[in-house]
Amino acid sequence: MEQLHQRQPGITRRALARGRDAAGRSSYALLAELVTPGSRVLDLGCGDGVLLELVASRGGVGVGIDCSAAELALARQAGATVVRAEAAALPLRAGSFDLVLSHLAFSVMDDAEAVVAQIDRVLAAPGCFAAVVGGGPALPASTGRQPDRQSGGEPDRQDQPTEDGFEVFLSLLGEALTGRARCRLGDRRAGRPEGWRELWHARGYQVTWERHEIDLSGTLDEVWLTLASAYDMTLLSPEQTQGLARRFAEECGRRFAERIPVTMVVWRAMAERG
């Protein structure tokens, strides 16, 4: 992960900032809309500072932390206040933030207990932590496709046309990675509601999870930029990456018109004290 952000800082913004939910919000805006004017906001795993820009536009006073020097250099260039730090060891005063946010970062962090303890420490009462978690395809729910009842599992992908470019991509990436270990990032509890309850209830926080579908449809180039930002892509050689890009383009050409449908599910997960 570190290498990817070092080599391609700003990759998450390029991949996701254009996406919108049914109400016209980006996945970043799902967090930014919680900011009230004058509130002190910490962005945990801020990357190139895209969320901090939205925080400032809503009158919040934002600070970002991230462990990637290359990401932070971009954030500083854009005028953000950022600190290079590990989320599990924040060099920040206790009770110095009203809100802690994290966009697709909390769930890739190791040692969730230590990170949660730090968030709890830097939050002033009452205190709220909100994160965007997720990144899976929306099928079959959003297309109304039913699971295959006979096998009780997923629909048979060979018999039914796949209707989302995300599914096409994942199936091709799965083939390219056959027999190889995937990137295992973060503490498993940080990516699921029962894990959040385990982590936060003990500290007196209430947990809520809200599902959002983000439309990331676009041209082949746009959609590839989004999907190829997956951390598992770092496991492929440049030749394998080119091969996958070629096969993805062929499959999309067969299945879709110029605009390739891609829908990503994200969760707005919140832990609120009080």
Ligand X SMILES: C[S@@+](CC[C@H](N)C(=O)[O-])C[C@H]1O[C@@H](n2cnc3c(N)ncnc32)[C@H](O)[C@@H]1O
Q: Which is nearer to ligand X, 104 or 122 (CB)?
A: 104
Q: How many residues bind ligand X (CB under 6 A)?
A: 19
Candidates 99-107, 145-153, 241-249, 256-264: pick the segment binding ligand X (CB under 6 A).
99-107
Among 31, 105, 112, 123, binds ligand X (CB under 6 A): 105
Q: Residue 245, interface with ligand X (CB under 6 A)? A: no
Helices (H) and strands (E) in the chain, counts: 10, 7
With contact defined as beta carbons under 8 Å apart, do 98 and 124 qualify? Answer: yes
CB of 226 to ligand X, least distance (A): 13
Residue 101, beta-bridge partner list:
43, 130
Candidates 100-108, 173-181, 213-221, 238-246: pick the segment binding ligand X (CB under 6 A).
100-108
What is the Cα–Cα distance from 247 to 237, expressed in whole angstroms? 15
Burial level of 192, CB count in 10 A (0-12/13-18/19+)?
A: middle
User: Which residues 6+ apart lie within 8 Å of 11 measured at CB?
Assistant: 4, 5, 229
For residues 4-39, b (16+ Cβ closer than 10 Å) or e, as one string? Answer: bbeeebbbbbbbbbbbbbeeebbbbbbbbebbeeeb
**How do 263-273 and 205-215 pair as beta strands?**
antiparallel
Q: Which is nearer to ligand X, 135 or 137 (CB)?
A: 135
State the Cα torsion 91-96-99-103 to the nearest 10°: -10
Site string for ligand X, 76-95 (x = CB under 6 A): ----------xx--------
CB of 108 to ligand X, least distance (A): 5
What is the Cα–Cα distance from 58 to 37, expressed in whole angstroms? 6
Site string for ligand X, 38-77 (x = CB under 6 A): -------xxx--x--------------xxxx--x------
Q: How far is CA 11 from the centre of its chain?
A: 11
CB of 227 to ligand X, least distance (A): 14
Q: Which is nearer to ligand X, 26 or 162 (CB)?
A: 26
Site string for ligand X, 172-211 (x = CB under 6 A): ----------------------------------------
For residues 244-254, b (16+ Cβ closer than 10 Å) or e, as one string? Answer: beeebeebbee
Q: Residue 216, interface with ligand X (CB under 6 A)? A: no
CB of 245 to ligand X, least distance (A): 21
Q: Residue 103, interface with ligand X (CB under 6 A)? A: yes
Residue nearest to ligand X (CB): 47
User: Which residues 6+ apart lie within 8 Å of 98 measured at CB?
Assistant: 39, 40, 41, 123, 124, 127, 128
CB of 150 to ligand X, least distance (A): 38
Give the binding site for ligand X (CB under 6 A). Answer: 5, 12-13, 45-47, 50, 65-68, 71, 86-87, 103-105, 108-109
